[in-house]
Structure 1
Amino acid sequence: MTILSNNSQVTYSGTGRRKKSIARVKLTPGSGKLIINGLPGETYLQFSPNYLRISYSPLHILGLSNEYDIYIKTEGGGLTGQANAIRLGIARALCTINPENRTALKSEGFLTRDGRVKERKKYGLRKARKAPQYSKR
């Protein structure tokens, strides 16, 4: 989706989800800065090279690392789920910029939502599948 903001700069948006995490991503042409919930991306992701690599991976695949400023509002879940939600949101936003980006991102698996979520707890069990210890006598 393309949005014209108040300063008439083009903004591209995408939404990513993973487990309980939701990330709303906005891409604007710029110098490559990452802002997550009002904080610099490195600070929010705790300077973890793994989370930063996951978040930036769609841009690295297309060679657009310093072409867009990324503004993200994310909530729910933990940092791993949020980093993967950010990756999906950025990939979807890049597809709205140029539909030709879709083939490269799809082959890397960046446009596929990971549907795995926590399994519900069942009655009589301690967790979803963990049962109390069996006692023969």
Structure 2
Amino acid sequence: MSEQQTRTLADLKDLVQVPTPAEQAQPVREPKRDALGRSYATGRRKDAVARVWIRPGKGQIEINGKPAAKYFARPVLRMLITQPFLVADRYQQFDVMATVTGGGLSGQAGAVRHGISRALTNYEPELRAILKKAGFLTRDPRVVERKKYGRAKARRSFQFSKR
């Protein structure tokens, strides 16, 4: 009886291993791959939608059947689509096959980047924290504002005439 009375809270804490709230909140994510070993994801930016497949390879990026260097002629756009691989330290380890529709080239490059980031997290779920911190998993919600009736553009009004 005297042994039970001398126990402290620290002694009881050692008996029970309670997971911390951070450990409870993190679900174990399984990789999502198809029969060919590829991971798929959809990326969106402005009006552009990109369907992206990644698989282990030599780093070849093909967009709408063309090499990325030919499809995205501007170096800034090519840099944009390789950012997820550089942040995740997986540069030239995956082949990318993407089909993009809608929008302009800048929106399409953003959509491909978003799709690559999501496909990487499907292939390797442990990369999610790195890509999330870099902001690549967040869909950029900014789109062009619609034109309103009685206006020249979305906000621009017609020139006022006093007479």
TM-score (norm 2): 0.79
Counterpart among 59, 62, 65 of residue 32 in structure 1: 59
Unaligned runs of 5+ in 1: none
* Equivalent pairs, count: 132
The AA in structure 2 aligned to 1:2 is R
Query: Which residue, out of 122, 130, 155, partners 1:104?
Result: 130
Equivalents in 1 of 2:137, 2:35: separation in Å?
24
1:119 is matched by which residue type in structure 2?
Answer: E
Larger Rg computed on CA atoms:
2
Paired residue secondary structure (2:38): strand
Q: Please report how far the alpha carbon of residue 136 of structure 1 lies from its aligned counterpart in structure 2 after TM superposition.
A: 2.0
Q: Unaligned stretches of 5+ in structure 2? A: 1-31
Question: Which structure 1 residue ranges, 4+ long, deviate > 3 Å from structure 2?
Answer: none
Aligned to 2:86: 60
Aligned to 1:18: 45
* RMSD of aligned alpha carbons: 0.9
Query: What is the correspondence of 1:1-137 to structure 2 with a 5 Å cutoff?
Result: 1-5=32-36, 10-46=37-73, 48-137=74-163
- In the TM superposition, what is the alpha-carbon distance from 1:134 to its structure 2 partner? 1.0
% identity of equivalent residues:
45
Alpha-carbon distance in structure 2 between the residues aligned to 1:3 and 1:41: 24
